[in-house]
């Protein structure tokens, strides 16, 4: 391979000093009062030689590498959360930064190795992200680094974090049903355990929203976050005489199981039962009737996290909650 074109090569081709070429190629020509004709010669020489600056060397001199690392547990290989990656990529590129994406698979040893390599490369800032919203302990290796948590929080609130506003989303789900006329027979299907941050906060918002409308939850049908469990548990509930007016599912996969359980018993959405859900995955659009669902704003969260790291100077600790919009479709109707 040919030798890398250097700044001195550009200066020689343009007939200027290396310092003059440096000022032109770093945008400081006006500040240094470099003549327009000289500026053009330098730019022409750089273009002809296909000059690219040595960013690694520059980073060693300035301690700024214009790189950001996204360190995740499983986000990178999950299509469902791919918007976190694409949002971070776009936001970083817009600011002239390169994004490293590293996935640990929740392997502590691999995480330690990856962080060591990123620290060796003098990465400027870090996004520490999780697939599911949950509490995390920030690795010791990141102490003293510029870090923002993405889709997760540390229990002590010592780190800046960007998370979806699940509580407000719960209120939106309740409001959507109440505005359609539902006041009684509103059931929850899902796993509202405290250990599942999304479920607990969604439930809190649902209760608040129903209370504001003068209503309350009729009950909870416990089910894991998958269609099979929802189909079995909600089906048993229906077979036992349960007749809900409306159902709030804690995610779209649960809603799929609810749809199937209703259909198997000759009931339809929304004529017999209205349904609203969370996440707004591709599944919500493909269900028939199309499912009203509250979207996880993954792209917006990643964009906000990059903005916190790169635009605001000092990053303040504590969570930033990003709104979750309701995608209203055909699964909600007035009660029969």
| 191-223 per-position pLDDT tens digit | 877 667 888 899 999 999 999 999 999 999 999
Q: Which residues pair with 276 in a beta bridge?
A: 248, 292
Give residue limits of the domains in the chain: 7-53, 66-163+298-322, 166-297
Q: Give kind and range of the element (H or E) at residue 294.
A: strand 292-295
User: What CATH superfamily classification does 166-297 receive?
Assistant: Response regulator (3.40.50.2300)
Return d(Cα 294, Cα 282) in angstroms, integer: 12
Q: Which residues contact 257 (CB under 8 A, 6 or more apart)?
A: 189, 223, 226, 227, 228, 229, 230, 231, 232, 234
The more confidently predicted of residues 86 and 234 is 234
Whole-number pLDDT of residue 79: 60
- Residue 96 · residue 126 · CB < 8 Å: no
**Mean pLDDT of all residues in 25-37:** 81
| 276-335 per-position pLDDT tens digit | 999 998 899 999 999 999 999 999 999 999 999 988 666 678 899 999 999 999 999 999
Return d(Cα 321, Cα 336) in angstroms, integer: 37
- Residue 128 · residue 163 · CB < 8 Å: no
Return d(Cα 258, Cα 228) in angstroms, integer: 9
The more confidently predicted of residues 26 and 172 is 172
Count CB neighbours of 226 within 10 A. 14
CATH architecture of 66-163+298-322: 3-Layer(aba) Sandwich (3.40)
Return d(Cα 257, Cα 248) in angstroms, integer: 12
Domain 7-53, CATH number (from 1.10.15, 1.10.3470, 1.10.260, 3.30.200): 1.10.260
Q: Looking at mean pLDDT, say which of 3-17, 20-34, 228-242 comes out highest.
A: 228-242
């Amino acid at each position: 391979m040919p030798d890398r074109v250097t700044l001195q090569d550009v200066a020689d081709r343009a007939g200027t000093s290396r310092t003059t070429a440096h000022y032109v190629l770093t945008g400081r020509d006006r500040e240094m009062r470099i003549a327009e004709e000289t500026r053009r010669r330098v730019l022409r020489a750089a273009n002809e030689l296909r000059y690219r600056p040595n960013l690694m060397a520059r980073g060693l001199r300035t301690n700024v590498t214009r790189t950001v690392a996204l360190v995740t547990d499983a986000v990178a290989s999950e299509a469902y959360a791919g918007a976190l990656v694409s949002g971070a990529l776009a936001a970083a590129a817009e600011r002239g930064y390169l994004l490293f994406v590293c996935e640990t698979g929740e392997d502590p040893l691999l995480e330690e190795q990856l962080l060591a390599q990123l620290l060796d490369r003098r990465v400027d800032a870090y996004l520490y992200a999780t697939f599911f919203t949950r509490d995390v302990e920030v690795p010791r290796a990141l102490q003293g680094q510029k870090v923002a948590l993405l889709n997760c929080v540390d229990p002590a609130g010592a780190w800046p974090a960007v998370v979806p506003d699940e509580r407000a989303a719960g209120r939106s789900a309740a409001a959507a049903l109440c505005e359609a006329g539902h006041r009684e027979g509103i059931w929850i299907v899902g796993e509202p355990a405290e250990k599942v941050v999304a479920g607990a906060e969604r439930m809190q918002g649902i209760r608040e929203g129903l209370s504001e409308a003068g209503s309350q939850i009729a009950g909870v049908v416990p089910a894991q976050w998958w269609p099979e469990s929802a189909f079995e548990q909600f089906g048993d509930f229906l077979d036992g005489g349960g007749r809900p007016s409306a159902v709030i599912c804690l995610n779209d996969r649960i809603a799929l199981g609810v749809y199937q359980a209703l259909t198997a018993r000759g009931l339809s959405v929304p004529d017999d039962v209205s349904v609203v859900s969370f996440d707004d995955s591709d599944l919500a659009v493909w269900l028939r009737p199309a499912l009203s669902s509250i979207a996880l704003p993954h792209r917006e969260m990643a964009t906000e996290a990059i903005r916190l790291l790169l635009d605001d100077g000092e990053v303040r600790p504590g969570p930033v909650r990003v709104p979750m919009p309701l995608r209203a479709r055909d699964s909600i109707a007035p009660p029969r």
